[in-house]
Amino acid sequence: MSNGLPFTPNTEQTAIAIAYRNHKMIADDVCPRVPVGSTKFEYSVFDLAERLTVPDTLIGRKSEPNQVEFTKTETTAKTEEHGLSDVVPNSDIKEAPPHYDPLNHAVEGVTDLVMLARELRVAKLYTNPANYAHNHDLSSAGFKYLDDANNDVLPFLQELMDDMLVAPNTMVLQRKTATKLRSNKHVIKAYNGSLGDSGLVPMAFIQDTLGIDKIHIGEAMVNGAKKGENPKFERAWGNALSLTYIDQLASTKNSRMTFAMTAQYGGRVSSRRDVSAGLHGGVEVLVGENVRELAIAKEYGMLLTNLFTPA
């Protein structure tokens, strides 16, 4: 029981919450954080056709030049509070060994779970076909799976990318998919100059060949079982591969378009309060942040699903 006592911000633990990061996570890279001035905010969506339609630019000797007008749609959204807490008994704090702070340890653990929850939200955003203008299910007729030995995957991917209105600069995939690409015999022959078709090719070769600025490999694992059931570990990024254009300088205020962004109000914080716990009470630590992940430009992304031959 908290007895209604409020959480009190803790500077040291907030610093830990901000600094602590599981480096296997990629959410901040593929859905960059953009500060907003309030929990309710607006962002602009521009008409892509206006930017690609070429008007008549010829001006007669006595005529006025043609005028163009750029329109945009203002969309309103709201950030959401995400956080978790943990209770540390006072007895644990009192009996802690030298150079070990149970409260700081709790903050690190809670922060990791808050970030894992964000990773899963971004992964769901990235693997949702509704967020893309270009969707390809490789189990459909006319396609080959990525693990098909007859699929020369790099030209295959390049041809799909060529159909996009905006050339992607980012690829997102999970570790298993990356291994399949690296071990594709056609990719290996391209890398080795036809001197063999076994082994693993560096991801940098695939990145350079496709002209991608960055390949992000999602390695996060989550437990998909319900509470009380045996653990069922799953890959957060699933059986999908995305190619998107991400502009790290895009924000809710400028006209730079990007596939996805994260609106963030304020910073990540940690606070604490005394609570009833056991015989001697305890301290509850809270870590949270106020964010909203958004996919805002469908034409700036392509999604491939059902990548592998069914087992």
Q: Looking at per-residue confidence, does 255 or 200 come out higher?
A: 200
Structure confidence at residue 289 (pLDDT): 96
Predicted confidence band of residue 211 (pLDDT cuts 50, 70, 90): very high
The least confident of 10-14, 49-53, 276-280, 300-304 is 49-53
Region 214-241: what's the mean pLDDT? 89
Structure confidence at residue 16 (pLDDT): 67
Residue 233 lies in a domain: yes
Residue 187 lies in a domain: yes
pTM: 0.85
Structure confidence at residue 61 (pLDDT): 77
3-state secondary structure of 264: strand
Structure confidence at residue 8 (pLDDT): 72
Residue 199 scores a pLDDT above 90: no
Percent of the chain's residues with pLDDT above 70:
89
Region 242-247: what's the mean pLDDT? 97
CB 259 within 8 Å of CB 84: no
For the chain, the domain total comes to 1
Structure confidence at residue 115 (pLDDT): 93
Predicted confidence band of residue 1 (pLDDT cuts 50, 70, 90): very low
Residue 59 lies in a domain: no
Q: What is the DSSP string of 60-103?
A: -TTSPPPP----EEEEEEE-EEEEEEEEEEHHHHHTPPTT--HH
Residue 163 lies in a domain: yes
The least confident of 9-13, 24-28, 77-81, 144-148 is 9-13
Predicted confidence band of residue 17 (pLDDT cuts 50, 70, 90): low
Q: What rounded mean pLDDT belongs to the chain?
A: 88
User: Could you tell me the two tokens for 93?
Assistant: 């704090």
* Nearest of 17, 164, 38, 39 to residue 105 by alpha carbon: 17
The least confident of 4-13, 82-91, 164-173 is 4-13
Beta bridge mates, 83: 288
Q: Looking at per-residue confidence, does 225 or 174 come out higher?
A: 174
Structure confidence at residue 165 (pLDDT): 87
Residue 215 scores a pLDDT above 50: yes
pLDDT digit string, tens, across residues 149-195: 889 999 999 999 999 988 999 999 999 999 999 999 999 999 987 66
**248: buried, middle or exposed (CB in 10 Å: 19+, 13-18, 0-12)?**
exposed
Region 293-299: what's the mean pLDDT? 93
Residue 2 lies in a domain: no
Predicted confidence band of residue 90 (pLDDT cuts 50, 70, 90): very high
Residue 58 lies in a domain: no
With b for 16 or more beta-carbon neighbours within 10 A and e for fewer, the 60-96 pattern comes to eeeeeeeeeeeeeeeeebebeebbebbbbbbebeeee
Residue 62 lies in a domain: no
Structure confidence at residue 59 (pLDDT): 79
Structure confidence at residue 198 (pLDDT): 74
Residue 282 to residue 73: CA distance in whole angstroms: 50
Region 48-73: what's the mean pLDDT? 69
User: Could you tell me the two tokens for 68?
Assistant: 């163009």
Residue 61 lies in a domain: no
Any idea which residue has 């209770």 for tokens?
87
Provide the CATH number for the domain around residue 203.
Answer: 3.90.1690.10
Percent of the chain's residues with pLDDT above 90:
56
H or E stretch covering 92: helix 90-94
Structure confidence at residue 64 (pLDDT): 79
For 220, the domain range is: 8-49+70-305
